[in-house]
């Protein structure tokens, strides 16, 4: 298979030095580019061996290495520069060479690099065939025809008495919409071995066949994968054993659904316990306020107005989760009830009802509800609302002597 070598430099002397050392064959291709026009020719760099002259162009070299990560690349420098060579390797360089690199060593490195380029080219062609025949996805090496593939691999495993684990993988109904396209499969492929097989059976749902492993090892691999995925995903594992394809798939899916349901139930129980626990604490705090704040206010109001309301009386009472203050006359009765039905509010309900036939025909003040935030429950505000309630009752209902 022919090779393509791309030289990048702004120094013509580099081309004169490097070309004779490349051991080019007749059908191999050679390209020369400067840093100024290389970005326009990136399509030529795929399936190529890239040799970059970094002299006076260190920053551009590192940028190009990063941009072409995955393409076999040599970095050439006229002078040794240990600090820069480390940066180059970190950016993805395959080799770092200088004028001091012996020809035999350079030839060996070039031969090895060209073999990698050839392998990449063959893989690309093979991949194109698989994509064109709808056997793998066009974005990743994820197999689509999972039934035939599992059947084929299962037969091999059982013939050789091998050990393997099939995992069924899926996010839950909420998190599947939060994941980016191909995010799960890309992370999985980056964390499994080259011979392990990832198969797609529905959008964002996969089967993963892990060879020569057991459940414990598969779960450890899965923990590593999960740590890199931002949303919650689940997996169910089963050993291949002597199962047929249908049994194996059904068991893996059952394990997957068990994992999803177990987590859903666990989250519900935790949420329920948390809400229940917090509600109990909140009710305890509210009852303390009833005892230490609201009850004393009721008492003060009762003492203040009892002697001023001719023909009317004020009574107060407390119970679990509520406080009550009533104002009574022969004509009607008014109630001021304070309760807390939940975490986020306190309700004050003011209601009226007729106590005599005479007043049944008259309109009573309209009942109403005042809702407060828990932090608003303080003495001054409660006193003001109580006094308005009493004055309204007095004006609208009137005393027995009026």
Q: Looking at the structure, do residues 8 and 127 belong to the same domain, yes or no?
A: yes
Q: What is Dmax (Cα atoms) for the chain?
A: 123
Task: For residue 84, give the CATH number of its domain.
Answer: 3.40.50.2300
Task: Render pLDDT for 49-98 as a digit per residue (tens, 0 to 9).
Answer: 999 999 889 999 999 888 888 789 999 998 888 999 999 999 999 999 99
Q: Is 172 within 8 Å of 232 (Cβ atoms)?
A: yes
Q: Is 18 within the bounds of a domain? A: yes
Taking the CB of residue 327, how many other CB atoms lie within 10 A of it?
26
- Terminal-residue alpha carbon distance, the chain: 113
User: Which residue among 243, 265, 296 closes a domain?
Assistant: 243
Angle at Cα 89 formed by Cα 86 and Cα 93, nearest 5°? 145
> How many Å separate Cα 56 from the centre of its chain?
43
Q: Looking at the structure, do residues 104 and 153 belong to the same domain, yes or no?
A: no
Helix, strand, coil percent values for the chain (each to nearest 5): 45, 20, 30
Q: Looking at the structure, do residues 8 and 106 belong to the same domain, yes or no?
A: yes
Q: Looking at the structure, do residues 294 and 215 belong to the same domain, yes or no?
A: no
Q: Looking at the structure, do residues 162 and 200 belong to the same domain, yes or no?
A: yes
Q: Which residue from 134, 120, 140 is spatially nearest to 182, judged by alpha carbons?
A: 140
Sheet of 322-328: strands edge to edge?
313-319, 322-328, 332-339, 346-354, 368-372
CA gap 197, 153 in Å, rounded = 10
E-only strand ranges, 118-243: 164-171, 197-202, 205-211, 233-239
User: Which residue among 64, 98, 132 closes a domain?
Assistant: 132
200 or 311: which leads in pLDDT: 200
Q: Which helix (H) or strand (E) holds 266?
A: helix 245-289
Q: Is 216 within the bounds of a domain? A: yes
Q: Looking at the structure, do residues 235 and 306 belong to the same domain, yes or no?
A: no
Q: How many domains does the chain have?
A: 3
146 or 269: which leads in pLDDT: 146
Q: Is 337 within the bounds of a domain? A: yes
Q: Which residue from 167, 169, 232 is spatially nearest to 196, judged by alpha carbons?
A: 167
> How many Å separate Cα 229 from the centre of its chain?
7
Q: Looking at the structure, do residues 88 and 14 belong to the same domain, yes or no?
A: yes
Q: Looking at the structure, do residues 49 and 126 belong to the same domain, yes or no?
A: yes
Q: Is 305 within the bounds of a domain? A: yes
User: Which residue among 132, 155, 189 closes a domain?
Assistant: 132
Residues 58-94 as b or e (16 or more Cβ within 10 Å = b): bebbbebbeebeebbbbbbbbeebeebbebbeebbbb
Report the share of the chain in percent with pLDDT over 70: 85
Q: Is 59 within 8 Å of 19 (Cβ atoms)?
A: no
Q: Looking at the structure, do residues 303 and 342 belong to the same domain, yes or no?
A: yes
Q: Return phi, psi of residue 205, to 5°.
A: -130, 140
Name the residue range of residue 204's domain: 146-243
Lowest mean pLDDT among 92-101, 137-146, 269-278, 374-383: 269-278
Q: What is the mean pLDDT of residues 254-268?
A: 72
Residue 389, SS3 per DSSP: helix
Q: Is 330 within 8 Å of 400 (Cβ atoms)?
A: yes
CA gap 88, 85 in Å, rounded = 5
Q: Which helix (H) or strand (E) holds 13?
A: helix 12-18
Q: Return phi, psi of residue 259, to 5°.
A: -65, -40
Q: Looking at the structure, do residues 52 and 80 belong to the same domain, yes or no?
A: yes
Q: What is the mean pLDDT of residues 385-394?
A: 86
Torsion, CA 79, CA 83, CA 86, CA 92, rounded to 10 = -70
Q: Is 301 within the bounds of a domain? A: yes
User: Does 139 score more than 70 pLDDT?
Assistant: no
User: Does 398 score more than 70 pLDDT?
Assistant: no
- The pLDDT score that the predictor gives to residue 292 is 83
96-102: list long-range contacts, CB under 8 Å, 24+ apart: 99/17
Structure tokens that stand for 21 in this block: 């050392």
Q: Is 283 within the bounds of a domain? A: no
Q: Is 271 within the bounds of a domain? A: no
pTM, rounded to two decimals: 0.44
Q: Is 89 within the bounds of a domain? A: yes
Q: Looking at the structure, do residues 358 and 388 belong to the same domain, yes or no?
A: yes
Task: For residue 192, give the CATH number of its domain.
Answer: 3.30.70.270
- The pLDDT score that the predictor gives to residue 401 is 42
- The pLDDT score that the predictor gives to residue 402 is 35
Q: Looking at the structure, do residues 95 and 177 belong to the same domain, yes or no?
A: no
What secondary structure does DSSP assign to 270-312, as a single string?
A: HHHHHHHHHHHHHHHHHHHHIIIIIHHHHHHHHHHHTTTSTT-
- The pLDDT score that the predictor gives to residue 105 is 92
């Amino acid at each position: 298979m022919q090779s393509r070598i791309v030289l990048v430099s702004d120094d013509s002397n580099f081309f004169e030095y490097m070309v004779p050392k490349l051991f080019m064959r007749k059908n191999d291709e050679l390209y020369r580019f400067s840093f100024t026009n290389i970005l326009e020719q990136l399509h030529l760099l795929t399936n190529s061996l890239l040799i970059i002259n970094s002299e006076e162009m260190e920053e551009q070299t590192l940028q190009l290495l990063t941009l072409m990560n995955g393409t076999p690349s040599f970095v050439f420098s006229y002078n040794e520069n240990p600090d820069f060579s480390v940066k180059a390797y970190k950016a993805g360089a395959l080799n770092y060479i200088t004028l001091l690199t012996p020809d035999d060593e350079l030839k060996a490195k070039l031969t090895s690099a060209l073999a990698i380029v050839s392998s990449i080219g063959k893989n690309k062609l093979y991949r194109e065939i698989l994509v064109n025949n709808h056997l793998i996805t066009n974005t990743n090496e994820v197999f689509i025809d999972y039934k035939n593939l599992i059947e084929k691999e299962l037969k091999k495993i059982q013939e050789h008495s091998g050990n393997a684990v099939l995992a069924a993988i899926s996010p839950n109904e909420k998190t599947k919409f939060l994941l980016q396209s191909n995010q799960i499969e890309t992370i999985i492929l980056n964390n499994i071995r080259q011979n392990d097989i990832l198969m797609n059976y529905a959008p964002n749902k996969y089967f993963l066949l892990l060879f020569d492993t057991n459940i414990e090892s598969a779960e450890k691999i899965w923990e590593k994968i999960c740590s890199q995925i931002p949303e919650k995903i689940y997996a169910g594992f089963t050993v291949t054993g002597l199962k047929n394809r249908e049994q194996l798939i059904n068991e893996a899916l059952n394990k997957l659904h068990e994992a999803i349901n177990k987590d859903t139930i666990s989250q519900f129980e935790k949420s329920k316990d948390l809400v229940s626990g917090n509600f109990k604490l909140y009710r305890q705090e509210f009852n303390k306020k009833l005892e230490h704040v609201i009850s004393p206010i009721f008492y003060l109001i009762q003492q203040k107005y009892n002697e001023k309301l001719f023909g009317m009386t004020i009574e107060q009472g407390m119970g679990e989760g509520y406080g009550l203050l009533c104002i009574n006359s022969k004509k009607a009765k008014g109630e001021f009830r304070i309760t807390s039905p939940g975490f986020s509010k306190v309700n004050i309900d003011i209601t009226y009802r007729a106590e005599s036939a005479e007043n049944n025909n008259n309109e009573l003040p309209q009942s109403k509800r005042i809702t407060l935030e828990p932090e608003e429950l303080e003495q001054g505000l409660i006193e003001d609302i109580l006094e308005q309630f009493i004055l309204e009752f007095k004006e609208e209902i009137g005393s027995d002597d009026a």
